[in-house]
Copies of this chain bind each other. A is one copy, B any other.
Amino acid sequence: MEEGRADRVFRALADSTRRDIVLRTLEAEHSVSALARDYPMSFAAVQKHVAVLEEAGLVTKRRRGREQLVRGDVDTVRRAARLLDALEAVWRGRAERMSEILAEPDGGTP
Residue ranges of A at the interface with B (Cβ–Cβ < 8 Å): 3, 6-11, 13-16, 19, 22-23, 26-28, 72, 74, 77-78, 80-81, 84-85, 87-88, 90-91, 93-94
User: How many of these chains are in the complex?
Assistant: 2
Whether B74 contacts A85 by the Cβ 8 Å rule is no
Whether B87 contacts A84 by the Cβ 8 Å rule is no
State the Cβ distance, A98 to closest chain B Cβ, in Å.
Answer: 9
Q: How far is the CA of A107 from the CA of B110 in the complex (A)?
A: 72
- A26, A84, A90 pick with most chain B CB within 10 angstroms: A84
State the Cβ distance, A55 to closest chain B Cβ, in Å.
Answer: 13
A8: chain B residues within 8 A (beta carbon): 14
